[in-house]
Amino acid sequence: PQIVPFRAANQAGIVTPQQDRLTFAAFDVVTKDRAELVRLLKTWTTAAESMTKGQLVPGGETDLQAPPADTGEADGLKPGNLTVTIGFGPSLFDDRFGLASKKPAALKPLPKLAPENLDPAYTGGDLCIQACADDPQVTFHAVRNLARLGAGTVVLRWMQLGFGRTASTSSAQATPRNLMGFKDGTRNVRAEQTDVLDRCVWIGDETDQPWLRGGSYVVARRIRMYIETWDRDYLADQQNVFGRYKASGAPLGRTDEFDTPDLGSSDIPDNAHIRLASPEHNGGIHLLRRGYSFTDGIDATGNLLGGLFFIAYMKDPKQFVTVQTALAGDALNEYIQHIGSGVFVCPPGVTPGQYWGQGLF
């Protein structure tokens, strides 16, 4: 109970029923030594596996003259369904490590997309770690310990905490609400839809890099909500922005949350978010969304600085680009701005004896 297996065909933390809390971190590799990068991935694999079992980072806790192998703040806490998922950014495959021949053609920086104004302090990275669990301290502990073990090899580039899930990834879960007060995740891809996962989420035989089969691409977007502006908008308009009723989550013109939206009807405005983001509008494309609400306090003018830390998994980042391009005319854009971004390829799961990303070397 509360333990998600670390070793499987696919990495945990993608179709795993979405946990309540997130710590996401992007790292830059500071060494030029390929062997050091391999050593880091081995060390991280061992530590991550141990932490997901609710155990301390291994290494002995008894030497009084050395820092303890584990920082200690998760000692005694339940594992909380911790998953730790790794991804590799486009910049990892530059000249430094001789990995150019292992770079998939699909992995490249995202093009400029509306409505964005990206802060370099929250953009990019050679590596990413997504730690999800039902306890915020467990997720923070995981990232902190990987960062500490990586000292000298990697540096933290940016980091984001998320305090509440904004999607469901399993049909057993109730739909949560985002900071705009709407149910979020209603029409998300679920773990049970294995046909959609094969078609839209897991990297398959179509890849030019066989070592990535069973992996997935992750796109992370730090999306600010202009919360004060939103809170002054009237209810009917809020509902038109999404194309759903606020209370029930049902599509406009229908009655139940899980009723299929009638996109042929004018009940759902032309610029409604669910119309423009839908597979029906985007040639059948699905994204597996797995985002979190965040807040980082207030900005310099005293407005709330928070929103949605959007995370989505997909077979090819083109899928995100297609949907986000369709969202250029989204009614929601009056109330949001994308202010950070990352794209990473997540290798397949680790089988016994392997380390994260072993296929790279």
Binding site for ligand HEM (CB under 6 A): 178, 180, 182-188, 221, 223, 225, 242, 244, 261, 273-274, 277-279, 287, 307-308, 310, 320, 323-324, 327, 336
341 with 89: CB under 8 angstroms? no
The residue among 28 and 116 lying less far from ligand HEM, judged by its C-beta, is 116
- Residue 259 beta carbon to ligand HEM: minimum distance, rounded to whole angstroms: 11
Strand, coil or helix: what is 354? coil
Collapsing DSSP to helix, strand or coil, 35 comes out as helix
Rounded to an integer, what distance in angstroms lies between the CA atom of residue 280 and that of residue 276?
9
Q: Which is nearer to ligand HEM, 103 or 290 (CB)?
A: 290
Of 27 and 344, CB closest to ligand HEM: 344
CB nearer to ligand HEM: pick between 240 and 324: 324
- Whether the CA torsion 242, 238, 333, 168 is positive or negative: it is negative
Helices 136-149 and 34-52, interaxial angle, to 10°? 150
Q: Which residues pair with 342 in a beta bridge?
A: 220
Alpha helices in the chain (DSSP H): 34-52, 136-149, 194-200, 227-231, 235-242, 273-277, 318-326
Closer to ligand HEM by Cβ: residue 226 or 355:
226
Q: Shortest approach of ligand HEM to residue 137 CB, angstroms? A: 26
Whole-number minimum distance, CB 204 to ligand HEM, in Å? 21
What are the structure tokens assigned to 116, written together? 């964005």
Q: Closest distance between ligand HEM and the C-beta of residue 316, in Å?
A: 14
Nearest distance from C-beta of residue 250 to ligand HEM, angstroms? 10
How far apart are CB 285 and ligand HEM at their closest, in Å? 8
Minimum distance from residue 141 beta carbon to ligand HEM (Å): 28
* Residue 189 to residue 268: CA distance in whole angstroms: 21
Ramachandran area for residue 214 (φ above 0: left; ψ -120 to 50: alpha; else beta): left
With CA atoms as reference, report the closest residue to 74 among 22, 141, 123, 9: 141
Measured from the CB atom, the residue of 147 and 263 that comes closer to ligand HEM is 263
Shorter beta-carbon distance to ligand HEM: residue 103 or 183: 183
Q: Do 343 and 217 contact (CB within 8 A), yes or no?
A: yes
